[in-house]
Structure 1
Amino acid sequence: MENDDLLYTLALQHVPNLGDTTAKKLLKKFGSAKEIFKEKKGNLLKINGIGATRLSELNDPKNLKQAEAELEFIEKNNIKVHFYQDTDYPEKLKHCLDGPVLLFSRGQIDLQKKRIISIVGTRQITAHGIAFCEKLIEEIAPLDPVIVSGFAYGVDITAQKAAVKNNLQTVGCLAHGFNQIYPRTHKKYVKEIEENGGFYTDFWSTDNFDRNNFLKRNRIIAGLSEATIVIESAEKGGALVTADIANSYDREVFAVPGRPSDKYSLGCNNLLKAQNAHVLTSAADVAYILGWKTENKPKVVQKQLFINLEDDEQKIYQFLENSGKTELDQLALNCNFPTFKTASLLLNMELKGAVRPLPGKLFEVI
């Protein structure tokens, strides 16, 4: 985007109370932000959602003046700007009506042809939550997903640190501009995350930092991803808001079940009880629901050496070897395992090179 176009689009983005949905409506009608600011008042008032108050705010000269200052900040700090109609704008976020008109980024983010999941949850993560989150990312790492989160305390930073550890790209969505880092104690993680992904925000350097920013930020976390995973959550919390947004975008939601007596399992259990999330017990659940497949690289392997199959895995392998291609549910029935457990075992066997998935939820031995 040329500087002149960017200047006027920044001004449009920062008009008080206009919102991204209305801004996109105006851009579609008039073609560019510059044309919007030049348009006659009468024509603007014909647009649904533009009343006298919004029109007055739109015509305030300070919009362009503030945009000039922000553009200078962007250029000085090597911030990348993504317009919602451009090819470098995240594809999944394009399909969200309230996705930001402009998205700002830093780092080496590459979402092209990538599997993308968001992992969110309480800031008061338990030892069990940490262990589950780290294990989940370790298990799913062979599928090379991008891990999105909010760079906050608890589940967020646990997921992003685990992503870096497993050489996965990770994206932190910030609730403030690039003039600061919150929480400050996470500043030590910025460099490694920018080297293994980066950060997104739609906030300016001049935006006030308050709790409502987190709620606005959550739509980006949900919108970037094909699925949102809630690791732990109390009965109320921002992670549940993110899950609700993901559901409203028609994206998949997963929740880790826990004991009814555990405070930070209540939110997840309620999501499951209301059938607003899939049960998540392992990485296999994500791969199965999302239809992810591993890439099977040809191997020269003697079957009798193959390898450290657990007893339950051996039972599945033996059945497939005797019966040939079998559908997941039928395999679970014949081996007397729950479907979710069978899916988990199959993913482990797939990663070991023992079985491969086929279209129609079929599996066969290699």
Structure 2
Amino acid sequence: MNKDELIAILRLQATPKVGDIIAKKLINTSGSATQVFKESKSSLLKIDGIGAQLISHLLDNKNLKKAETEFSYIEKSKTQYCFFKDNDYPENLKHCIDAPILLFKDGNLNLTNPRIISVVGTRNITSYGRDFCNELIKDLAVYNPTIVSGFAYGVDICAHKAAIKNKLQTIAVLAHGLDEIYPKVHKKHIPAVNENGGFITEFWHDEKPLRENFLKRNRVVAGISQATIVIESAEKGGSLVTADIANSYNRDVFALPGRASDLFSKGCNNLIKNNQAHLLSSAEDIVKMLNWDVHKPTKQIQEKLFFELNDDEEKIYTYLIQNGRQLLDVIALDCNIPIHQLSSILIQMELKGVVKPHPGKMFEV
């Protein structure tokens, strides 16, 4: 990415009233972030959701100066970053309409692992929650998942440490810039996390851990993952917000049940009771629900099956074998098949006993 394009992206981030949804709309319509600021006012006004007030914010040179200052820091510090259209941008996040247009990262990250799960919960983790979290990640280790959390007290840091102990990649999603650390006491864990994964954030380098940033952070935790696991939660809490966002993205949510009288099991119990989460009792529940135990058919079975499938059906079958359960829109995008055509093909494949539909327009082999 060249200097002008990165500065233009940063300028969009710095512009009031321009969130990630609007920024993506502007970039996609104009062709690039740089081109957004070359468009005429009349052209910008033709874009749905763009008004005169927003355009005045876009053209404010104060935002350009802020962007140039942040660019200088990125260049000097050699900060790693990825744009939402880049190949190294997390695949699951690409399918979230409000995902950040730009992510900053640090460590030895590999964001291509299809088995990514987020583990969240209360900061006041009990021995019950801690033991279950450690055992769960230990039992999942054979499937080599990436463990995502928010680097906070309680369940978050427990999940990161369990991942490191079991030699799994772990990703800490921050609610502040890479030059900050919260909580301060977790500074001692930075080297181990960087060695076994790393940190990502949408916030500029010196952004403080403001309250509203944690809510924004939660959508990245939910969006980057195949599924979200809630270990413990009171009736209200950030982990329940993360679970709600994961549900809105049509991702699986799991919750650890507890006694009705336990304060930090009430949130999980309510998720299960309201059908907002699968009941989680062991690693096997995750493995089965996410199809991690499904292996590719033998060559002989594949050849027999492919003989009965046309080219599009074969493409979809192979895609689902490799990626597990997927949303209709995602299959259409990744297989380059129009949704109306894909729906018809999937019905035929269902009649042949090749695919199985699930609620929420999800399909699997």
1:208 deviates by 4.4
Bigger CA drift: 284-293 or 48-57? 48-57
Match of 1:79 in 2: 79
Gaps of 5+ in 2: 297-353, 357-365
Structure 1, unpaired ranges of 5+: 297-358, 362-366
The alpha-carbon deviation at position 113 of structure 1 amounts to: 3.6
1:14 to partner: Cα distance: 1.7
Identity %: 57
**Secondary structure of 1:119's aligned partner:** strand
1:295 shift after superposition: 7.0
Could you tell me the TM-score, scaled by structure 2's length? Answer: 0.80
Q: Determine helix, strand or coil for the equivalent of 1:291.
A: coil
- Residue number in structure 1 paired with 2:235: 235
Number of residue pairs matched by the alignment: 299
1:46-85 paired onto structure 2 within 5 Å: 46-85=46-85
Deviations for 1:81-112, whole angstroms, at most 9, x for unmatched residues? Answer: 10101101000000000001101100111021
- The one-character-per-residue Cα deviations of 1:32-62 (angstroms, maximum 9, x if unpaired) are 1111111111211221221222111111001
* Contact in 1 for aligned 2:106/2:194 (Cα 8 Å): yes
Correspondence 1:10 to 2:10: yes
Using the TM superposition, give the Cα deviation of residue 206 of structure 1 relative to its aligned residue in structure 2, in angstroms. 4.3
Q: Deviations over 1:307-342 (max 9, x none)?
A: xxxxxxxxxxxxxxxxxxxxxxxxxxxxxxxxxxxx
Give the drift of 1:8: 0.9
Q: Which residue number in structure 2 is paired with residue 89 of structure 1?
A: 89
Aligned residue for 1:194? 194
The CA distance in 2 between the partners of 1:134 and 1:66, in whole Å, is 43
What is the one-letter code of the residue matched to 1:257?
P
Q: Deviations over 1:237-294 (max 9, x none)?
A: 0000000000000000000000000000000000000000000011000000000027
For residues 43 and 84 of structure 1, the distance between their equivalents in structure 2, rounded to whole angstroms, comes to 24
1:137-171 superposed Cα distances (whole Å, 9 cap, x missing partner): 00110000000000000000000000000000000
Shift, 1:7, TM fit? 1.1
Contact 1:179 1:205 in 2 (8 A): yes
State which structure, 1 or 2, has the greater radius of gyration over its C-alpha atoms. 1
Check the 8 A contact 1:121/1:231 in 2, yes or no: yes
Match of 2:120? 120
**Equivalence for 2:273:** 273
Q: 2:207 is matched with which residue? A: 207
Give the Cα separation in 2 of the matches to 1:208 and 1:262.
34
Give yes or no for contact 1:221–1:242 (8 Å, CA) kept in 2.
yes
Q: Output the CA distance in 1 between the equivalents of 2:36 and 2:172.
A: 33
Alignment root-mean-square deviation, CA: 1.6
Distance 1:242 1:31 in 2: 32
In structure 1, the residue matched to 2:166 is 166
Tell me the CA shift for residue 209 of structure 1: 3.1
Deviations 1:215-239 (A, max 9, x none): 0000000010000000000000000
1:256 & 1:228 partners in 2: Cα distance?
11
What secondary structure, in the 3-state scheme, does the structure 1 residue paired with 2:37 have?
A: helix
**Deviation at 1:78?**
2.7
User: Secondary structure of the residue that 1:38 maps to in structure 2?
Assistant: coil
- The TM-score with structure 1 as length reference comes to 0.79
Counterpart AA for 2:243 = A
Residue 221 (structure 2) aligns with = 221
Pick closer, same or farther for the CA change 1:139–1:188 going to 2, 3 Å: same
